[in-house]
Structure 1
Amino acid sequence: MSCASATLAVWASAWLAGAAAPDDALDALAPWSDAHDVLAADDGAAALTELPGPGAAPTSVTLLLAAARRSAARGQARLVLAAPGDVRGLPGPGGFSREATAAGEGVLFPEAGFGIVPSAIADGVVRWTVHAVPDPGPAPEYVPLNEAERELRGQVREAASALTDLGVARHRPGVREEIAASLRQRPRALWPAGMPPQALRVLQQADEVDAILSAAAGDEPGGALSASAAVARSDALRPIATAVRVARRAAVAEAVRVLVSVPRA
């Protein structure tokens, strides 16, 4: 689903550009968890950012944003959505790339030289771990939002037919109600004023497709599907999951571009 990293990438970029208040950026994270704290992954990241490192008491997202501003006053944040076999947008080998791939998400501050990865460390608590990223790597792949939206619309049809072709609807007759309930239960992301409507629409469509993917992947081998059928299902759904990641990255990148380009008084 639209993730905490997407929210932070958009709001942090808007704040660094003077398009959002810091309190609003912090409030936007509330739907994802009751509390958020920040800790550097190692002594090197702690020295770079002036944030507490291993063994110290964690600090707040407020000080994380301040660290980004100190290092790159007008920098922009980049959403990273990685998966095994799909490492587009990652800066190369290192702690950030490894942890972002494991988590499936992260935020890179290329100009500031660090990246952060969220993880749930307790009920109602998300920790953002800061990793030094001395080389952010090449510029990320540019995907026009119109292209990403067209691909995602096509994948909506693919995902819906996959439910039928893979027998999910047959084994779980209430699966469509399950999808609707899943969407209602997901955190409702908050976005800055001036968020481009097309980016919002693509993010919503990505959530819908992701809910279908979750339902389609719900049965495990040993349940209604055989192991071979489960493998076939995974193979069929993989390109749909890839399209969701591409669409979300494109939507967030477009939102950041628009928000930081508006002239400020």
Structure 2
Amino acid sequence: MSSPSASLAVWTSSWLAGISAPDDVIDAMAEWAPMHLVVAADETTALLTGLSWPDPRADGIAAVLTSIRAQIPGPSVDAVIELLLPTAGAVEDLPPRTEFARAAIGAGQAVVLGRAGTSGLAFVPTVEGPDVMRWTAFSTPVKDHYTRDFTLGEAEYAMRDAVRGAAEALGSMQSLPTRAEHGDARTRIGEELAELMRHRYPVDTPERALRVLESADRVSAILSVARSSAPTEAPTAGAALAREELIRPLWAAVRAARLSAIAAGVASSVPRR
């Protein structure tokens, strides 16, 4: 699992469908941090949700689930559970010039929950310390449709190409001189993958979605190792630009694949339009 928001999205949808128990969700989220603080972003959201404001409380994921249940009482064609992974040049699903948008961009992730075409909730996680994660709840409009660059089938195909491209990027960057010894690349890729794979998925996650997510994790691990293996300063500005142009589309493909796969996992539990 690549992010706390992805975990919250798939486990919440499984719970709302009655496939997973609340304790399953809490246990899965505990893998990210043993303590979860929850706070409303403003007084209006606090009144709507019953969450604390302005100071967070150690109410844990149980408080998040209570707020979500109020927004989505159960499976419905109008239910929306949407993972967002905003990044530079890809913020189209965020309400512009809002505190939620700024927080989501800063975190690089968020989950939007509610009923399509109404006002719902968005949760943005931030790391407060080695054992503490903070979730901030925002009131936000819930869209009928969210941006998808890939279908699940297209994402699976794109990840096959991306694995090859990431391996080529790693080989290219490792051929450049570096100032520090980072260790064996294969070992470090394995360590990156092990960290991503320690987070579980619900039993109802479709096999194809799991394949896409596993491939995306592999590409992400290779790119992370490639980036740390590259020189901190490229020999020329042109070389630095070429290096960035080599890996940028691969990261974009990973992001798009993860969004499509998580959406497929959510749709398998909660009916979607």
1:84 aligns with 2:117: no
Q: Give 1:149's match in structure 2, choosing from 151, 156, 163.
A: 156
Match of 2:268 in 1: 258
Shift of 1:140: 0.9
Instruction: Give me the whole-angstrom Cα distance separating, in 2, the residues matched to 1:176 and 1:57.
Output: 42
Mean Cα displacement is larger for which, 25-34 or 176-185?
176-185
Asked if structure 2 preserves the Cα contact closer than 8 Å seen for 1:196 and 1:258, the reply is: yes
Amino acid at match of 1:259: S
Match of 1:248 in 2: 258
How much identity, in percent, do the aligned residues show? 38
Asked if structure 2 preserves the Cα contact closer than 8 Å seen for 1:8 and 1:107, the reply is: yes
Instruction: Give me the whole-angstrom Cα distance separating, in 2, the residues matched to 1:168 and 1:114.
Output: 47
Asked if structure 2 preserves the Cα contact closer than 8 Å seen for 1:163 and 1:169, the reply is: no
Instruction: Give me the whole-angstrom Cα distance separating, in 2, the residues matched to 1:168 and 1:77.
Output: 43
Instruction: Give me the whole-angstrom Cα distance separating, in 1, the residues matched to 2:195 and 2:147.
Output: 32
Asked if structure 2 preserves the Cα contact closer than 8 Å seen for 1:10 and 1:256, the reply is: yes
For residue 217 of structure 1, give the secondary structure of its aligned residue in structure 2: helix
Shift of 1:9: 0.3
1:65 aligns with 2:65: yes
- What is the 5 A alignment of 1:84-103? 84-103=88-107
Shift of 1:184: 2.2
- What is the 5 A alignment of 1:220-235? 222=232, 225-226=234-235, 228=237, 229-235=239-245
Q: Give 2:246's match in structure 1, choosing from 230, 236, 248.
A: 236
- TM-score (norm. length: structure 2): 0.86
For residue 53 of structure 2, give the secondary structure of its aligned residue in structure 1: coil
The verdict on how the C-alpha distance between 1:13 and 1:168 changes in structure 2, with shifts beyond 3 A counting, is farther
Shift of 1:58: 4.2
Match of 1:47 in 2: 47
Shift of 1:56: 5.2
Structure 2 residue runs of 5 or longer lacking an equivalent are none
Shift of 1:227: 5.7
Instruction: Give me the whole-angstrom Cα distance separating, in 1, the residues matched to 2:59 and 2:197.
Output: 24
Match of 2:142 in 1: 136
Structure 1 residue runs of 5 or longer lacking an equivalent are none
RMSD: 2.3
Asked if structure 1 preserves the Cα contact closer than 8 Å seen for 2:35 and 2:60, the reply is: no
- TM-score (norm. length: structure 1): 0.89
Instruction: Give me the whole-angstrom Cα distance separating, in 2, the residues matched to 1:173 and 1:6.
Output: 30
